[in-house]
């Protein structure tokens, strides 16, 4: 009987030690969440003949969704006419509210990009960078369109800060921007030799200011970090003064960045290790079709 009593006491102590070890994990559960925007059809603003050319942003989303699903991500997405400025804003708010401590978060934007005249003076070169939703016009028109449907980097950064605060230091936030903020927007017929560019070299300006890109050749840029926020890694398709070319594979066009992100994530896990982004950049730099662009990584680590 004495030995049985000792054995029970040992079991109680072991159970208590296990409970104490698990206490920090009670109430904590990590989730994988993704928010994706992919626009191919810009037909809503072509009436004046000066609208945005169609690209293949929706292809990027279709390519990546199965890959992210296999890695356990729940995905919220907006494509084409669903990807209006209002819908993107509302979805980013609802998405950020779902993000919890320790989550692995992935945001993806495949669309046109455009330089946007800086009105608050926080950009040294006088230009913000903006994502172009489905209903954003290409030019300023007094009384018709003043840029309200563009989503500038300042606005996007506000959403990202909220997400980083909600996720906290136990999680991480990844952002992939397969857009372009420089270069000419042109395309040929969709054959083997055609080129599809995302973006424009004409800045959006109410003062008709001429866009002159800042030449920044850094491949990696340090961004704000905080002990209370999740680390963030932002992967961009090209430098601010370069064009972002789509590439053709198996008869379909994809954003060059999206294509290689998907290729790398076939074998790499999306977790707190950021090495997969370096692998994407290396593959893009080796692709002879992309000799005129260099991916950029912005990282808080």
Which helix (H) or strand (E) element contains residue 261?
helix 256-265
Its domain, for residue 205, covers 31-299
The reply to whether 133 falls in a domain is yes
Q: How many structural domains compose the chain?
A: 1
Q: How far apart are CA 63 and CA 53, in angstroms?
A: 21
**22 within domain boundaries:** no
A 10 A CB-CB count for 5 gives 9
**What per-residue confidence (pLDDT) applies to 209?**
86
Looking at the chain, which runs of residues are DSSP E strands?
32-38, 74-79, 104-110, 112-117, 127-132, 151-152, 172-178, 220-222, 231-236, 246-249, 252-255, 296-299
Residue 17 belongs to some domain of the structure: no
- pLDDT for the residue 190: 46
pTM of the model: 0.85
Question: In the prediction, which pLDDT does 17 show?
Answer: 58
CATH of the domain at 194: 3.40.50.1460
Residue 3 lies in a domain: no
Residue 141 covered by a domain: yes
Could you report the per-residue pLDDT of 130-185, keeping only the tens digit for each?
999 999 999 998 888 999 999 999 999 999 999 999 999 999 999 999 998 643 33
CA distance 38 to 180: 14
pLDDT tens readout for residues 248-284: 999 999 999 999 999 999 999 999 999 999 999 999 9
Q: Is 11 part of any domain?
A: no
Per-residue pLDDT reduced to its tens digit, 28-72: 568 999 999 999 999 876 656 568 999 999 999 999 999 999 999
Report helix, strand and coil shares of the chain as percent, to nearest 5: 35, 25, 45
Instruction: Indicate whether 117 belongs to any domain.
Output: yes
10 is a domain residue: no
């Amino acid at each position: 009987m004495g030995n049985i009593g000792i054995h029970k006491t040992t079991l109680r102590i072991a159970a208590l030690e296990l409970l104490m070890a698990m206490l920090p994990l009670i109430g904590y559960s990590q989730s994988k969440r993704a928010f994706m925007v992919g626009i191919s059809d810009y037909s809503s603003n072509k009436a004046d003949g000066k609208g945005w050319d169609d690209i293949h942003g929706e292809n990027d989303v279709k390519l990546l969704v199965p890959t992210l699903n296999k890695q356990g991500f729940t995905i919220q997405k907006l494509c084409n006419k669903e990807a209006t400025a209002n819908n993107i804003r509302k979805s980013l708010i609802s998405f950020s509210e779902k993000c919890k401590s320790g989550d692995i978060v992935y945001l993806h934007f495949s669309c046109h990009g455009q330089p946007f005249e800086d009105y608050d003076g926080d950009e040294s070169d006088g230009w913000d960078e903006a994502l172009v939703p489905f209903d954003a016009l290409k030019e300023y028109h007094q009384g018709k369109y003043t840029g309200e449907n563009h989503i500038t980097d300042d606005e996007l950064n506000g959403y990202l800060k909220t997400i980083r605060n909600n996720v906290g230091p136990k999680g991480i936030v990844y952002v992939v921007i397969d857009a372009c903020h420089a270069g000419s927007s042109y395309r040929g017929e969709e054959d083997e030799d055609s080129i599809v560019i995302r973006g424009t070299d004409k800045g959006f300006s109410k003062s008709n200011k001429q866009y002159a890109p800042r030449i920044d050749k850094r491949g990696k840029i340090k961004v704000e970090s905080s002990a209370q926020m999740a680390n963030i890694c932002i992967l961009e398709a090209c430098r601010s003064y370069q064009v972002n070319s789509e590439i053709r594979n198996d008869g379909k066009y994809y954003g060059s960045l999206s294509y290689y992100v998907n290729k790398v994530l076939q074998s790499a896990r999306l977790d707190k290790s950021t090495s997969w982004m370096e692998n994407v950049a290396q593959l893009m730099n080796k692709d002879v079709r992309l000799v005129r662009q260099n991916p950029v990584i912005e990282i808080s680590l």
